[in-house]
Amino acid sequence: MFGVLVDSCVVLDLVDPDGAWFEWSVATLETLDAGAVLVIDPVVYAEVSVGFERIEVLEDVLARLNLAYREPPREASFLAGKAFLRYRRSGGTKTGVLPDFFIGAHAAVAGYRLMTRDVRRFATHFPTVKLIRPDQGF
């Protein structure tokens, strides 16, 4: 078995049956579910929670999706800070991107694959992380 950290965009896809990415996200997770431990972390949890009024509803959705909650190790937080610093020093100006650095670093340190549709930043700043993305298999 291998671990897959599921990005918030994918979790949100799964709760929107009319969304453009629903079919890809469902089919990919169903395929992965047989051989992978599917994981979210505190950053993904927080990002996804915005779409729910009650924690009980969110918890029920995560349980039905078979998504386990895992804390990142401290090394991931350190790596996230360093990657973000490199991003800023290389001219990165977007605000609100630090959560992606935490997610990417968690995947890198834990040895998880990362299921996401937001490929560019993860591929650039965490090249060792195997991405599961719409334009490629896994």
Domain ranges for the chain, please list them: 6-132
Class of the domain covering 6-132: alpha beta
The pLDDT value recorded for residue 86 is 92
Residue identified by tokens 């779409």 is 51
**Alpha carbon distance 20, 38 (integer Å):** 22
Longest Cα separation, the chain? 42
The pLDDT value recorded for residue 109 is 98
| 5 DSSP 8-state letter | E
The pLDDT value recorded for residue 136 is 78
pLDDT-flagged residues of the chain (< 70): 137-138
State pTM to two decimals. Answer: 0.93
Which residue in 105, 110, 133 sits closest to 120, CA to CA? 133
What is the chain's alpha carbon radius of gyration, rounded to the nearest angstrom? 15
Determine contact, residues 7/116, Cβ cutoff 8 Å: yes
The pLDDT value recorded for residue 138 is 58
Determine contact, residues 98/82, Cβ cutoff 8 Å: no
What are the backbone dihedrals phi and psi of residue 117, each rounded to the nearest 5 degrees, phi first?
A: -105, -10
